[in-house]
Amino acid sequence: MIPGKIQSHKHNQKTCYNFFINIKLNYQKIFNGYITKINGQMNKYENYVLGKWIYGDDLGTPLYNAVNGQQIGSASTKGLDFSQIMNYARKIGGPKLRKMTFQERGLMLKKLALHLHSIKNKFYPLSYQTGATKLDSWIDIEGGIGNLFTNASLRRQFPDLPFHVEGSAASLSKNGTFIGHHIMVPKQGVAIHINAFNFPIWGMLEKIAVNLMAGVPAVVKPATITSYLTQFMVREIIASKILPEGSLQLICGSARDILDSVTSEDVVTFTGSADTGILLKSHSKIIKESVPFNMEADSLNCTVLAEDAVPGTIDFNIFIKEVVKEITVKAGQKCTAIRRIIVPEKLIDDVKNALQDKLSKTIIGNPTTEGVKMGSLAGIDQKKEVYNQVKLLKNSQEIIFGSLDDFDVVDADKNKGAFMSPILFLNEYPFEKTDCHNIEAFGPVSTIMPYSNIEDAIKLARMGKGSLVCSIITSNMKIAEKFVLGASSMHGRILILNESCAKESTGHGSPMPLLTHGGPGRAGGGEEMGGIRGIKHYLQRTAIQGHPTTITNVTKQYQVGGKQNTEGPHIFRKHFEEIEIGDTVITDEHLVTLDNIEDFAELSGDKFYAHMDENALDGTIFTERVAHGYYIMSRAAGLFVDPEKGPVLLNYGIDECRFTKPVYPGMTIKVRLTAKEKIEQEKKDDDIAKGIVKFLVDVYDDEGETVMLGTILTMVKKINQK
């Protein structure tokens, strides 16, 4: 131990470090000047972290226009402290979002969606620089904004609370004094989204829509190569001030240490290659802290032409159109694109000819030029990668359309931009030559392969070892059923396409916000979107147990067996603000008679034998002519409604309704009407300010047993009309 030496070594290290920092800063100044001096269009794409726009402290990674190969700027994350960034989200963004109810968060997303929609045209010019055509850009920009709208609408499926109350209570005791329920609270961490390069806007919006709805802040790390487009949109989002500070941060560039500071309440989503996904998923912090890791990776999706869809049928044409679309849209850089085309062996030539014919009409070139159908890949590196994969595939199958060198490009230099031709392979022995089931060329590349019967088609589809999506084109219900049940366990989504739905179909390649997106096995084993299912990934489900009154108090939803308040005026005399959960009306009783049953049968026209014919009851569960369930429901309303004009505006439906015990003439019924749940409603301009109140309708007989249980939905006026 020679302390002095250590000290001097440290000192030297520090001096040395400062020296390099100075050189770097000076160089940085020169570099910055260089960027602004030589090209006004060059940009330093800053990160939005800790409430500020910050560029890293090195030159950064150059970013290029994919169409002409020119540098458009650079991105740097050097010097960013990821741990600080995560803590900022947890401490500043998280608490603000968690205070908001689902309704408030939904309205915030709707406002953001409306704002971005109003300025959507701003994003197209930059999107074209990623090589995307107008259609590709539309999918990315407007598809992403659409995702915000859809998620915003999901607020109606959640309670008017900052947390979710899931399902219904479980009865855990004989006398009903002990029950269980489930609540789902926002995780007090951060959603870290590590995204792929192909959809710079959609990729971000489809993910943040979900965590923001859940009440969790996000740190978004787009792929560096197209991060400039994501950054442009984040600039607009931040400038709009619609999201609370700290709820969205952006890392524009490489972030190799991003997972070093994750903790148990964070959620990581990854979209990209399987290799990177596996590397990140096995990060020691992810494992030690049990951090949910949602992976969406490479996927060798397929489409199957069924035997009934022969040439000359509309279904055959639909198939050809869909395959061409999936090869050329976004130049095949879609995680859901069709990589394997599974065709009845006797139709191989027809499919080959039809696809060759259609693909030969694909105009490749500058996405801004009229008539261009396919733009470029996202960059030269991507092109190299796809070419390598094509070369590997060529070892076991032949190219029947397209060439790596010989193709034309319109209004651009094919040697400077990242252009390539569609490539179609034929693999005549897909059970023996299996590269096509293992190698993903993330570009306009696909392989035709034959099958002899539907069992073989299912086997081939499953040989992708787990895919995001597959489709089958058939109008034959038996084939569709057999295929779907045989292939489902290896697929996240299956499209059954035919003449009857093609016009309105959203297509093979489009993940829909209300449907689950993800796939087993090779596709990463992840799951996202899917309506409220997606939001639940950011919520912690907790079972709570206790007395119904206690559980009512926590959930703000009345639980059967909980305390009821029968004091005060009739509930129909109370405004929205005055109604408390548990407020109850107990009605007078009503004696049910045979005349009631006959009158109701006459009025409604419902003369079902069990109500009308006492000689037809043999072999039924009824011992007498039974009252209509709907009569009991209607008569209950007659008992609980307080008819004079008041704050209750209307009844707009019944959520659930059960007839639990037969009611025979001579029995009496009585009703307990209890305020079960209240939901705020947004006031539109001239609208009456009002809220939704759900009432539990419990109709019981002279023995105190429930004969009908239902939940009615009413709109109740507020005192405050502003």
CA distances from 538 to 101, 155, 482 (A): 15, 15, 36
Contact mark string toward ligand NAP, 163..202, x via CB under 6 A: -------------------------------xxxxx----
Read off the tokens for 128: 């074209």
Contact mark string toward ligand NAP, 108..147, x via CB under 6 A: ----------------------------------------
Stretch 325-364 residues interacting with ligand NAP (CB under 6 A): 335
Distance CA(194)–CA(271), nearest Å, equals 6
Q: Which stretch binds ligand NAP (CB under 6 A): 134-142, 158-166, 266-274, 577-585?
A: 266-274
Read off the tokens for 715: 């709109």
Distance CA(660)–CA(325), nearest Å, equals 54
**The only residue of 139, 218, 255, 348 in contact with ligand NAP, by rule CB under 6 A:** 255
Q: Which stretch binds ligand NAP (CB under 6 A): 45-53, 64-72, 269-277, 485-493?
A: 269-277
Read off the tokens for 663: 């009611």
Show the DSSP H helices in 168-226 as ranges: 202-214
Tell me if 214 contacts ligand NAP by CB under 6 A: no
DSSP annotation of 627: P
Q: Which stretch binds ligand NAP (CB under 6 A): 111-119, 147-155, 295-303, 623-631?
A: 295-303
Among residues 241 and 256, whose Cβ is nearest to ligand NAP?
A: 256
In the set 166, 206, 296, 528, the catalytic residue is: 296
Tell me if 695 contacts ligand NAP by CB under 6 A: no
Among residues 61 and 366, whose Cβ is nearest to ligand NAP?
A: 61
Active-site residue, 335 included: yes
Q: Are 93 and 245 in contact (CB under 8 A)?
A: yes
Q: Are 504 and 520 in contact (CB under 8 A)?
A: no
CA distances from 49 to 196, 246, 349, 662 (A): 20, 8, 56, 64
Sequential DSSP letters for 305-329: E-TT--TTSHHHHHHHHHHHHHHHG
Among residues 224 and 564, whose Cβ is nearest to ligand NAP?
A: 224
Tell me if 681 contacts ligand NAP by CB under 6 A: no
**The only residue of 89, 329, 468, 532 in contact with ligand NAP, by rule CB under 6 A:** 468
**The only residue of 440, 677, 698, 701 in contact with ligand NAP, by rule CB under 6 A:** 440
Read off the tokens for 96: 């603000």
Instruction: Encode burial over 104-121: b for 16+ CB neighbours within 10 A, e otherwise.
Output: bbbbbbbebbebbeeebe
Q: Are 204 and 194 in contact (CB under 8 A)?
A: no
Give helix then strand counts, H and E, for the chain.
20, 28
- Phi-psi sector, 24: left (phi>0), alpha (psi -120 to 50), beta: alpha
**Shortest separation between residue 76's beta carbon and ligand NAP, angstroms:** 11
**Shortest separation between residue 381's beta carbon and ligand NAP, angstroms:** 9
**The only residue of 43, 147, 224, 421 in contact with ligand NAP, by rule CB under 6 A:** 224
Tell me if 243 contacts ligand NAP by CB under 6 A: no
Among residues 272 and 365, whose Cβ is nearest to ligand NAP?
A: 272
Tell me if 302 contacts ligand NAP by CB under 6 A: no
Site size for ligand NAP (CB under 6 A): 28
Contact mark string toward ligand NAP, 519..538, x via CB under 6 A: ----x---------------
Show the DSSP H helices in 594-690 as ranges: 594-604, 609-612, 629-640
Tell me if 464 contacts ligand NAP by CB under 6 A: no
Q: Count the residues in the chain.
A: 722
Active-site residue, 296 included: yes
Question: How remote is the C-alpha of 127 from its chain's centroid?
Answer: 22
Tell me if 271 contacts ligand NAP by CB under 6 A: yes
Distance CA(560)–CA(558), nearest Å, equals 7
Among residues 468 and 632, whose Cβ is nearest to ligand NAP?
A: 468
Among residues 301 and 498, whose Cβ is nearest to ligand NAP?
A: 301
| Residue of 80, 123, 35 whose CA lies nearest to 252 | 80
In the set 252, 302, 322, 335, the catalytic residue is: 335
Among residues 358 and 491, whose Cβ is nearest to ligand NAP?
A: 491
Sequential DSSP letters for 515-528: SEE--SGGG-S--E
Tell me if 706 contacts ligand NAP by CB under 6 A: no
Q: Nearest residue to ligand NAP, using CB?
A: 272
Beta bridge partners of 677: 694
Residues that bind ligand NAP (CB under 6 A): 194-198, 221, 223-225, 254-256, 258, 271-273, 276, 279-280, 296-299, 335, 440, 442, 468, 523
Catalytic positions: 296, 335
